[in-house]
C-alpha cells in the first residue's frame, strides 16, 4: 500500500535542512571568533558563507514542510530541495551530512507517487473486477470464449453474449487422446 504523504522524503529533507542550518550557525560562530581575534578578512568571508548556509537551510526546511502539507506538488518541491541541497556546499553544506540527507530526501520526493482517489471505480464490459485485498463484491470473470456474432468475450457460465444477446454455447472439449476433426494426430508434425 502506498503512503498518502511522502514521510521518508519529508524526514530526510527536514533533517538535511536542519543540518545545513546548523552548519551555517557554526560558520557564524567561527566568523565571530575570527573577528574577535582580529582576522577581519577571514571573519568577513566566513560570515558570508554562514549567511548562505543559514538561508539555504531555512529554505530546505520550509520546502520540506510544504512537501508534507501538499504531497500533490511533490515533484517541484523535490527539485527545489535537490537544488538547494547541492548549492548548500557554498554555505558549509551542513557538515556534508546535510547535503547528503537533502539530496536523498529531494530525490525521494521526486519519485513519490500520490495515491489515486480511493472512491474511483471502474468496470470492464459491465463487470467490476475484484482487487486482491479489497472489498469488491463481484469477482473478476474468467473469459470463456468469443461470441460468433460480434466477437466480444463471453464470461464463464453465460448462455448469452453480454454485448449482442446472441445465444452462446461454449465449444465442447475433446476427450483426452482423441483429436478433434481437422487437428493433426498426436506424434505428427505440423509445418
7-42 per-position pLDDT tens digit: 999 999 999 999 999 999 999 999 999 989 988 888
Q: pLDDT digit string (tens) for 112-135?
A: 987 655 554 454 555 555 555 554
* Spatial CB neighbours of 74, under 8 Å, sequence gap ≥ 6: 6, 9, 67, 109, 110, 112, 114
Q: Which of 57-61, 87-91, 151-155 has the lowest mean pLDDT?
A: 151-155
Q: Which of 14-18, 53-57, 106-110, 138-142 has the lowest mean pLDDT?
A: 138-142
pLDDT of residue 101: 97
pLDDT of residue 27: 94
pLDDT of residue 186: 54
Quick one: average pLDDT of 83-106? 95
* Spatial CB neighbours of 40, under 8 Å, sequence gap ≥ 6: 34
**What does pLDDT average to over the chain?**
81
Q: Residue 6's Cα: distance from chain center in Å?
A: 9
pLDDT of residue 140: 47
Residue 161: pLDDT band by 50, 70, 90 thresholds? Answer: confident
The ranges assigned to domains in the chain are 7-111
pLDDT of residue 155: 79
Q: Are 159 and 186 in contact (CB under 8 A)?
A: no
Q: Distance between CA atoms of 56 and 63, rounded to whole angstroms?
A: 10
Asked whether residue 72 carries a pLDDT value surpassing 60, the answer given is yes
Quick one: average pLDDT of 75-84? 97
Amino acid at each position: 500500500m502506498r503512503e498518502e504523504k511522502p514521510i521518508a522524503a519529508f524526514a530526510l529533507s527536514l533533517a538535511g535542512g536542519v543540518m545545513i542550518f546548523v552548519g551555517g550557525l557554526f560558520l557564524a560562530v567561527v566568523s565571530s571568533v575570527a573577528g574577535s581575534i582580529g582576522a577581519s578578512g577571514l571573519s568577513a568571508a566566513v560570515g558570508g558563507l554562514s549567511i548562505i548556509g543559514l538561508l539555504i537551510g531555512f529554505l530546505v526546511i520550509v520546502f520540506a514542510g510544504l512537501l508534507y502539507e501538499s504531497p500533490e506538488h511533490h515533484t517541484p518541491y523535490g527539485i527545489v530541495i535537490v537544488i538547494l541541497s547541492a548549492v548548500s556546499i557554498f554555505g558549509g553544506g551542513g557538515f556534508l551530512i546535510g547535503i547528503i540527507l537533502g539530496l536523498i530526501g529531494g530525490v525521494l520526493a521526486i519519485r513519490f507517487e500520490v495515491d489515486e482517489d480511493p472512491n474511483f471505480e471502474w468496470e470492464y464490459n459491465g463487470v467490476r473486477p475484484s482487487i486482491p485485498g479489497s472489498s469488491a463484491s463481484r469477482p473478476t470473470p474468467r473469459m470463456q470464449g468469443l461470441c460468433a456474432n460480434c466477437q466480444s468475450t463471453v464470461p464463464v457460465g453465460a448462455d448469452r453474449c453480454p454485448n449482442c444477446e446472441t445465444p452462446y454455447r461454449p465449444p465442447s472439449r475433446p476427450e483426452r487422446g482423441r483429436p478433434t476433426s481437422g487437428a493433426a494426430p498426436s506424434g505428427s508434425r505440423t509445418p
